[in-house]
Each structure stands twice: as C-alpha cells, then as structure tokens.
C-alpha cells in the first residue's frame, strides 16, 4: 500500500472539478485506489509508504480515444488538402510501409514512447491491415506497461491494392490479435472497419458479426467531411444516413467509438442515441483537414457520450491537453457563429471527456475514486500571479494554465495502474 500526497484535481462528473489541496490517494499493491483523503488521518499503519509530491498537481492521466499509430511519422506535416485527397496523397502511402516489420518497429516504438511522454496512459489505436506489425504494436504497449485497444484495420475497396485486405484476412488478423493479447492485462483487440468508403458490405457485415460473437469493442469514422458523406450516399443508396450504414450491419453498439461526427443528420443523431454509441471528438484534426466544427453541444444535449481523440496524424500532436484546449476553442467559434446561442465547452467538461469518460472504455479508469485504477500525472504547474486567496481557485487556475500553456517537461511523473514512469 502507498499513499500519494499532492494537490488533487479531477472530474467525478462533467460539471465541476473536485479539488483537494494537499490530499492523499491510497493505492493498493495491484494499482487500484483504496481511498481518497483530505488529511493523513488514515496513515497510522507503518505499512503505508507516503510519497509526497509537495505543491505539485496530481491529476488523472489522459486517455486518447482515437489515434492512428502508423501515421506517427506524418505528425505535424502534410495538411494542405482535405480528407479524401489527404488519405490518397499522404496517409495510404505511409501506412503501406508497415508491411515492413523493421519500419513498423522503428515508428511504433517512437509512437508508444511519445504517448507516455505526453501523459496518455490508454489509447484506442488504429494500426494497419498488416497483422505482424499489429501484433508487434501490441507487444510494445505491453512491454511499456500502458493500456490500449488495438485495431487491425479492415479495408477492401477504394484503396490502393497494397493497403487492402480480404474479409477473411481482417477476421483472422483480429482473432490472432485477440489470442496474442490474452495474457496482456492492459492490451486488447478492437474491431476496426476503416470507414464506409473503404469497406465492402461483406467486410462491414463480417466485422460486425465478429465483434458480436467475441464481445469486442468497435471503432471507425463517421461523418467527417461533406464529400465523404456524399460518397457514402452513392455507395450505400438504401441507407437513410451515414450512421444508418453502420447500424444496418450491426456496428453501432454501447461499445462502439465513432470518430468525428462533424455533420450528423437528425437520423444519425437518433441512431447514435438509440444504440448508445460514443462519439470521439477530434477538434485539432477537424481544423487541420478543414473538416468543420462538430456540433458537440447538440450531441451532448441529445445524451450522446462524447470523448476526445488526437487523431494523429490529421491531428498534429499527441498531447490530449492540446486537444482539450482545441475543443474549447472550436466550441467558442461555434458559439460565435451562432450568435452565442450555443454554449461553448467548459474546462471541466473537456477534462472529463479526456479522463473519466474516455477512461470508462478501459475499465474503471480516469477518476480518483475507490476502485479506480491509479492512472495519474504529477504536474509542476505554477502561475506567475494568483487571482485568488482561495486554495481551490488557485489550483483550478494552475490546471487551466497548464492546459493552455503547459509543456511536457512539466509532467514530472506518470502512473498507469500504479506503475510509475
């Protein structure tokens, strides 16, 4: 048993931060939180080692619910064209390189290291169609000791020949991945049809059946750009909407993550609501590819769960703090564009999306409550002046400052299920 002392700040709900200046988090030997305390009144036992982080902030670690590991080498470059051109010009050629296991090892090693550096302890990851490289990615997460849902991508139409797989290859790749990770406590397989334009009806149907039979989560892309949506209408004329294509094949579930949703129709929203599908908002990506502003407040008001993703390499940075900041900023632009009739997102709302809600896809992760796995960051953030004598307000300001203006060197420690980095 260990007790970590620091300025605790987290979001048990999306409404507000819970702030405990100089509080203690008691963590058992399996990395699970036994209790959260405002004083050391519990610490009578000699068996409890107290680790004191002094005046630093102690927050839950970040969860990235949408990221493409094989696009890591393209991070921060090649944003001059919108989605469909970007895929063909930059992204597919880069992903095709992952047929080479040595190249995969180089890039995937850097990717996992950078996730840890940025304070992201769990991620829902797209790999590629290549099974050996995808198994290697699972190994790298396991060896590092952080958590992931890893997707062997299914894609069999409208894509380069060297980046397509057959339906049976996609199915057996995911099966192998599931088998390969069965003794990796923090790493799992996630069924991953790339998006409707690159998946035949047979591919979508087979992957839905597999997810259902093996009780696996699902991830894909939804309503990212107008041209993509138009194309989906042409490809699947029977469907009532983009989400309805996924729904018809059985891919919208309580365990489904759909990235983007920038242009949902009323039918899309009703289907997401009905099926309990989670949307992953990727605001940096939506800016970089000129995709648009996702109507997040409207989705939240409809009761649709919304988490956050970096979507590297359409997103330009793995830092979920940058993604949070971007989510607030684009929501303010959206508010301005609608005469301020739509409320922008608050800091606790986006923090909750990146911690407790995002974490819920990985078990009891993302909050400082008894029974939650201890995924945490120790952040050295100070402000040059203080706007308040009130300790709670001061800590809020220090976190706000870090979200907007922090850098990775201020993250002085990271924990994933109690394991320290």
Residues that bind ligand GUN (CB under 6 A): 68, 83, 87, 91, 194-195, 221, 224, 285, 311, 314
Report what 297 binds from ligand GUN, Fe ion, none; CB cut-off 5-8 Å by kind. none
Give the span between the Cα atoms of 329 and 192, in whole angstroms: 30
The token duo for 183 is 């003794």
User: Which residue is nearest to Fe ion, using beta carbons?
Assistant: 311
Nearest CB to ligand GUN, comparing residues 280 and 378: 280
What is the rounded distance in angstroms from the CA atom of residue 363 to the CA atom of residue 319?
22
Q: Identify what 153 binds: Fe ion, ligand GUN, none; CB under 5 to 8 Å per kind.
A: none
365 binds, among ligand GUN, Fe ion, none (CB under 5 to 8 A by kind): none
CB under 5 to 8 A by kind: which of Fe ion, ligand GUN, none does 347 bind? none
Question: What is the CB-side half-sphere exposure of residue 24 using CA atoms within 13 A?
Answer: 20
Nearest approach, Cβ of residue 323 and ligand GUN (Å): 13
Query: Nearest-CA neighbor of 228 among 258, 203, 262, 251?
Result: 262
Q: How far is the CB of 303 from Fe ion (least distance, A)?
A: 24
Site residues (vs Fe ion, CB under 5 A): 259, 311
Q: How many residues does the chain have?
A: 421
Q: Would you say 221 or 297 has its CB closer to ligand GUN?
A: 221
Query: What is the secondary structure of 319-377 as a DSSP string?
Result: -HHHHHHHHHHHHHHHHHHTTT-SPPPPHHHHHHIIIIIHHGGGSS-SS-STTSB--EE
Residue closest to ligand GUN, measured at CB: 314
Closest CB 31 distance from Fe ion, rounded Å: 30
Least gap, CB of 197 to Fe ion (angstroms): 13
- Closer Cβ to ligand GUN, 91 or 255, answer by number: 91
Please report, to the nearest 10 degrees, the dihedral formed by the alpha carbons of residues 61, 62, 65, 69 taken in order: -100
When CB distances are held under 5 to 8 angstroms depending on the partner's kind, the choice from ligand GUN, Fe ion, none that residue 91 binds is ligand GUN
Nearest distance from C-beta of residue 71 to Fe ion, angstroms: 8
Nearer to ligand GUN, 155 or 178 (CB): 155
Give whichever of 221 and 281 is closer to ligand GUN, judged by the CB atom. Answer: 221
Please, what is the end-to-end C-alpha distance for the chain in angstroms?
18
Provide, rounded to whole angstroms, the least separation between the CB of residue 301 and ligand GUN: 25
Q: Using an 8 Å Cβ cutoff, are 351 and 61 in contact?
A: no
* Residue 354 or 376 having the CB closest to Fe ion: 354
Which secondary-structure segment (H or E) carries 281? strand 278-281
224 binds, among ligand GUN, Fe ion, none (CB under 5 to 8 A by kind): ligand GUN
Per partner kind, with CB cut-offs from 5 to 8 A, the member of Fe ion, ligand GUN, none near residue 120 is none
Return the closest-CA partner of residue 129 out of 165, 176, 87, 94: 165
**Cβ atoms within 10 Å, residue 303:** 10
Compute the least distance from the CB of residue 63 to ligand GUN, in Å: 18
Output the smallest distance, CB 72 to Fe ion, in A. 13
Partner that binds at residue 133, options Fe ion, ligand GUN, none, CB closer than 5 to 8 Å by kind: none
Pick the closer one to ligand GUN by CB: 206 or 222: 222
Burial class (CB in 10 A: 0-12, 13-18, 19+), 143: exposed
Residue 43 token pair: 């610490």
**CB under 8 Å, gap of 24 or more: what pairs does 79-87 form?**
79/288, 79/289, 79/314, 79/316, 81/289, 82/225, 82/227, 82/289, 82/290, 82/291, 83/224, 83/225, 83/227, 83/228, 83/289, 83/291, 83/314, 84/197, 84/225, 84/227, 84/228, 84/231, 86/289, 86/314
Judged by beta carbon, residue 11 or residue 285, the one nearer ligand GUN is 285
Pick 118 or 285: Cβ nearer ligand GUN: 285
In the complex with Fe ion, the residue whose CB is nearer, 61 or 314, is: 314
Smallest separation, CB 69 to Fe ion (Å): 11
Shortest Å, Cβ 153 to Fe ion: 11
């Amino acid at each position: 048993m260990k007790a970590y002392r620091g300025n605790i700040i987290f979001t048990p709900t999306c409404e507000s931060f819970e702030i405990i200046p100089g509080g203690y988090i008691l963590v058992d030997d399996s990395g699970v939180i036994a209790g959260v305390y405002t004083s050391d009144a519990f610490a009578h036992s000699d068996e409890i080692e107290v680790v004191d982080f002094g005046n630093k902030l102690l927050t839950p670690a970040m969860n990235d619910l949408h990221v493409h590991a094989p696009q890591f080498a393209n991070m921060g470059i090649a944003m001059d064209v919108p989605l469909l051109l970007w895929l063909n010009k930059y992204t597919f050629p880069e992903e095709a390189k992952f047929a080479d296991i040595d190249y995969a090892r180089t890039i995937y090693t850097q990717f996992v290291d950078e996730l840890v550096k940025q304070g992201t302890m769990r991620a829902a990851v797209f790999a590629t169609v290549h099974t050996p490289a995808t198994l290697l990615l699972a190994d790298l997460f396991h060896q590092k000791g952080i958590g992931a849902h890893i997707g062997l991508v299914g894609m069999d139409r409208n894509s380069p020949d060297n980046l397509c797989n057959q339906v049976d290859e996609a199915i057996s790749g995911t099966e192998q991945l599931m088998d390969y990770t069965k003794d990796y406590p923090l790493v799992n397989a996630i069924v991953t049809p790339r998006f409707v334009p690159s998946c035949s009806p047979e591919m979508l149907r087979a992957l839905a059946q597999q997810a259902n039979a093996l009780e696996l989560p699902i991830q894909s892309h939804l309503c990212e750009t107008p041209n993509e949506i138009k194309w989906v209408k042409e490809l699947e004329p029977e469907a009532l909407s983009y989400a309805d294509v996924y729904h018809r094949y059985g891919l919208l579930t309580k365990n489904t993550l759909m990235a983007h949703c920038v242009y949902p129709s009323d039918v899309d929203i009703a289907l997401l609501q009905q099926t309990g599908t989670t949307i992953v908002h990727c605001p940096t990506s939506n800016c970089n590819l000129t995709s648009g502003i996702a109507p997040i407040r409207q989705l939240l008001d409809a009761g649709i769960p919304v988490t956050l993703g970096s979507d590297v390499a359409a997103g330009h940075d793995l830092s979920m703090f940058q993604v949070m900041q971007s989510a607030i900023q684009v929501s303010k632009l959206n508010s301005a564009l609608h005469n301020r009739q739509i409320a922008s997102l608050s800091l606790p709302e986006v923090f909750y999306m990146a911690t407790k809600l995002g974490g819920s896809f990985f078990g009891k992760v993302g909050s400082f409550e008894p029974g939650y796995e201890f995924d945490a960051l120790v952040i050295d953030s100070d402000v040059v002046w203080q706007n308040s004598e009130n300790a709670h307000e001061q800590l809020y300001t220090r976190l706000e400052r870090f979200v907007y203006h922090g850098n990775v060197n201020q993250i002085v420690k990271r924990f994933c299920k109690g394991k320290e980095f």
